[in-house]
């Protein structure tokens, strides 16, 4: 039997409360009972996508201070009522939200207040929705600082990532060219009755999303989940390398998607996968084993090479640096509410430190690909420009720069007008060989 909606609402509100306290939904969801988890994830992600509007409506409907559990349940329910597309009929949502309030000792005393607020919203919905449209956070469901940063960084296209963040992320797969071809994978999906389309390169979009373990060929290592934008990294780094078996470092490698893609493109590459998180490195090893690939996996801090580097320079380094993840909000809708404006300054400092530490490890004539899944220039173009000003032996090779996430017709190739499923930044840097000065 399906769990009651009130149970799912109670848990989703708890998750939203955790998110507003600074905990990611991804970290919190494993604590939810397995039978409730799928429904709670769907509800909480929907709420995160519409929380800005819900917060503005709550200020109109309940002007006095509410205890956190009550506030979280009210905001959760308003997001479900106001957000499109509707997940359940409005009166069902209200009835089950009030039931959730009555069943929870922390919200029971406020069940009447909750009922009154929600029924007022249903009666006055058009007027209340109109009243909050002048609030940028309500209109775009992002913090105001985030919206303003996008307007400064991308004055002609700032609305693209905001609109894309309100949509469900597409399920994009990377075909392991060492075990299958794109036509073979597409034929297998067709035989299984799963519509799919090629997006370009090794990327395939599964138009009818499935649980990962149910995807034909996943267990056999024929496909992996990886966005089309992320799939730009490995071929960009490897293209043009003259060494048949290059030494390659994937810094900040977990969970291993780009490490695997490097080896799928060039199985002869000597790849070192580096990450500072031992638990996440377990996932790298598991992913490589499923795909039939091997890399040298190291748990260490990339900014302290003395502790792990063997003093042999790398032909190529892939630095997918820690960032705000502002380009993948459609996949993790809570990110916009977890980040703070001053986080960007701190992350930029970390990105500069990683670039400074890893650049000496690149051999002359080699290259480093700096990338982030961020749409903010402070984590992309500004970091690359700053690095080039500080390093006279570095040159920028042709690079995609900032790719903005945008909506596109499902199943059609991505990449037109630099719009992708995820927001990314790519800067390919070459180390200029030094030449002796004339005598």
pLDDT of residue 269: 97
Domains of the chain: 5-141 (1.10.940.10), 171-225 (3.30.70.1170), 230-431 (3.40.50.150)
pLDDT tens digits, 339-388:
999 999 999 999 999 999 999 999 999 999 999 999 999 999 999 999 99
Confidence tier at 406 by pLDDT (50, 70, 90): confident
Q: What is the pLDDT of residue 72?
A: 96
Cis peptide before 403 (omega within 30 of 0): no
Q: Report the chain's mean pLDDT, rounded to a whole number.
A: 94
373 is catalytic: yes
User: Above pLDDT 90, what percent of the chain?
Assistant: 89
The pLDDT of residue 439 is: 42
**DSSP run (H or E) holding 110:** none
pLDDT digits (tens, 9 = 90+) for 142-154: 999 999 999 999 9
Give first-to-last CA distance, the chain, whole Å: 85
Share of the chain above pLDDT 70, in %: 96
- DSSP assignment of 175-228, as one string? E-TTT--HHHHHHHHHHTT--EEEEETTEEEESS---GGGSTTTTTTSEEE--T
The residue annotated as part of the active site, out of 75, 252, 297, 373, is 373
Average pLDDT over residues 91-106: 96
Whose tokens are 């349940």? That residue is 73
Do residues 402 and 381 make contact, with C-beta atoms less than 8 angstroms apart? Answer: yes
User: Would you place residue 418 in the very low, low, confident or very high pLDDT band (cuts 50, 70, 90)?
Assistant: low
> pLDDT-based confidence at 389, cuts 50/70/90?
very high
Q: CB burial class (10 A; 0-12, 13-18, 19+) of residue 10?
A: buried
The sign one gets for the Cα dihedral 173, 405, 368, 243 is positive
pLDDT (tens digit per residue) in 38-62:
999 999 999 999 999 999 999 999 9
Which among 193, 256, 186, 268 is positioned nearest to 222, based on CA atoms? 186
Over residues 287-312, the mean pLDDT reads 96
Instruction: Give the pLDDT of residue 434.
Output: 78
Quick check: 312 and 336 in contact, CB under 8 A?
A: no
* Residue 430 confidence (pLDDT) above 90: yes
Maximum average pLDDT range among 183-187, 196-200, 239-243, 417-421: 183-187
Collapsing DSSP states into helix, strand and coil, what is residue 171? strand
Burial bucket for residue 125 (CB in 10 Å: 0-12, 13-18, 19+): middle
Res 436 pLDDT > 60? no
Per-residue confidence (pLDDT) for residue 290, from 0 to 100? 96
Look at residue 438 in the predicted model and tell me its pLDDT.
Answer: 46
CA distances, 201 to each of 72, 98, 115, 129, 190 (Å)? 44, 50, 53, 44, 19
* Token digits of residue 336: 């916009």
Does 395 have pLDDT greater than 80?
yes
User: Alpha helices of 21-50 — where are they, by DSSP H?
Assistant: 25-28, 37-49
**What is the pLDDT, as a whole number, of residue 432?**
95
Q: Could you tell me the CA-to-CA distances from 54 to 66, 257, 331, 383 in Å, in that order?
A: 15, 36, 20, 36
On the question of pLDDT at 416 being above 70, the answer is no
Q: Is the pLDDT of residue 64 over 90?
A: no
Average pLDDT rounded to a whole number, residues 317-322: 98
pLDDT, position 20: 95
Residue 324 CB: number of other CB atoms within 10 A? 26
If phi over 0 gives left and psi between -120 and 50 gives alpha, with beta otherwise, what is residue 294?
A: beta
Return the structure tokens found at 70: 């009550």
Mean pLDDT within 208-227: 93
Chain segment 100-132, per-residue pLDDT in tens: 999 999 999 999 999 999 999 999 999 999 999
């Amino acid at each position: 039997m399906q769990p009651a909606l009130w149970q799912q609402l109670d848990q989703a509100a708890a998750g939203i409360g955790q998110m507003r306290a600074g905990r990611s939904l991804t970290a919190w969801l494993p604590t939810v009972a397995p039978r409730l988890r799928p429904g709670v994830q769907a509800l909480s992600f929907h709420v995160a996508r519409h929380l800005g509007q819900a917060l503005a409506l709550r200020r109109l409907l309940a002007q006095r201070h509410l205890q956190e559990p009550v506030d979280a349940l009210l905001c959760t329910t308003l997001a479900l009522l106001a957000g499109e597309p509707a997940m359940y009929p409005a009166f069902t949502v209200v009835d089950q939200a009030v039931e959730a309030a009555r069943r929870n000792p922390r919200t029971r005393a406020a069940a009447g207040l909750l009922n009154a607020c929600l029924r007022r919203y249903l009666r006055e919905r058009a007027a209340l929705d109109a009243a909050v449209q002048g609030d940028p956070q309500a209109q775009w469901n992002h913090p105001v600082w985030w919206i303003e940063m996008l307007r400064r960084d991308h004055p002609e296209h700032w609305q693209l990532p905001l609109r894309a963040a309100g949509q469900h992320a597409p399920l994009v797969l990377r075909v392991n060219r060492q075990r299958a071809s794109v036509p073979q994978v597409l034929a297998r999906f067709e035989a299984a009755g799963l519509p799919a389309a090629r997006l370009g390169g090794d990327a395939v979009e599964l138009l009818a999303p499935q649980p990962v373990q149910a995807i034909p060929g996943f267990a056999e290592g024929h496909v992996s989940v990886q966005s089309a934008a992320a799939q730009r990294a490995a071929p960009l780094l490897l293209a043009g390398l003259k060494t048949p078996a290059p030494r390659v470092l994937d810094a900040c490698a977990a969970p291993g998607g780009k490490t695997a893609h490097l080896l799928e493109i060039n199985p002869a590459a000597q790849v070192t996968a580096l990450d500072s998180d031992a638990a996440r490195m377990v996932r790298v090893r598991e992913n490589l084993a499923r795909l039939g690939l091997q890399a040298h996996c190291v748990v260490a801090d990339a900014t302290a090479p003395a502790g792990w580097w063997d003093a042999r320079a790398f032909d190529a380094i892939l630095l997918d640096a820690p960032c705000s993840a502002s380009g993948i909000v459609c996949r993790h809708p809570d990110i916009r509410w977890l980040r703070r404006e001053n986080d960007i300054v701190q992350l930029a400092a970390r990105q500069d430190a990683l670039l400074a530490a890893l650049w000496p490890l690149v051999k002359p004539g080699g290259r480093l690909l700096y990338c982030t899944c961020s749409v903010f220039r402070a984590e992309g173009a500004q970091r690359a420009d700053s690095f080039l000003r500080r390093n006279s032996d570095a040159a920028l090779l042709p690079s995609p720069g900032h790719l903005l996430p945008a909506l596109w017709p499902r199943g059609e190739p991505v990449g037109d007008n630099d719009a992708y499923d995820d927001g990314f930044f790519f800067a390919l840097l070459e180390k200029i060989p030094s030449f002796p000065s004339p005598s």
